[in-house]
Amino acid sequence: MGIFDWKHWIVILIVVVLVFGTKKLKGLGTDIGESIKGFRKAMNTEEDGKAGEPQGAPAQPLSQPQTIDVQAQKVEEPARKD
């Protein structure tokens, strides 16, 4: 018996249904399902687009500006004696 035993889940489910109602929960489930379908469709479309590109081709033309990732480091200068 842990904190979340099956009896606890039933009580939580009953409270959620009482608070939100079945119509809102059905609408929420439908919205989540549609968003997951859209996400999967977008991922499949993206993979199909990448499959048509040659492997060695750059993603951007060389005339376009490109971002360079660097890491800044602090350089300490010796103390000046005046």
Taking Cα atoms as reference points, which of 20, 57, 1 lies closest to residue 49?
57
pLDDT, residue 41, reads 92
Answer yes or no: is pLDDT of 13 > 70.
yes
Structure tokens at 9: 């889940």
Are 25 and 17 within 8 A, CB to CB?
yes
Answer yes or no: is pLDDT of 72 > 90.
no
CA distances from 69 to 55, 59, 79, 80 (A): 23, 17, 31, 33
Check residue 81 and report its DSSP letter.
-
Are 60 and 66 within 8 A, CB to CB?
yes
Give 10 or 49, the one with higher predicted confidence. 10
- Per-residue confidence at 30, pLDDT binned at 50, 70, 90? very high
Lowest-pLDDT choice from 6-10, 11-15, 19-23, 49-53: 49-53
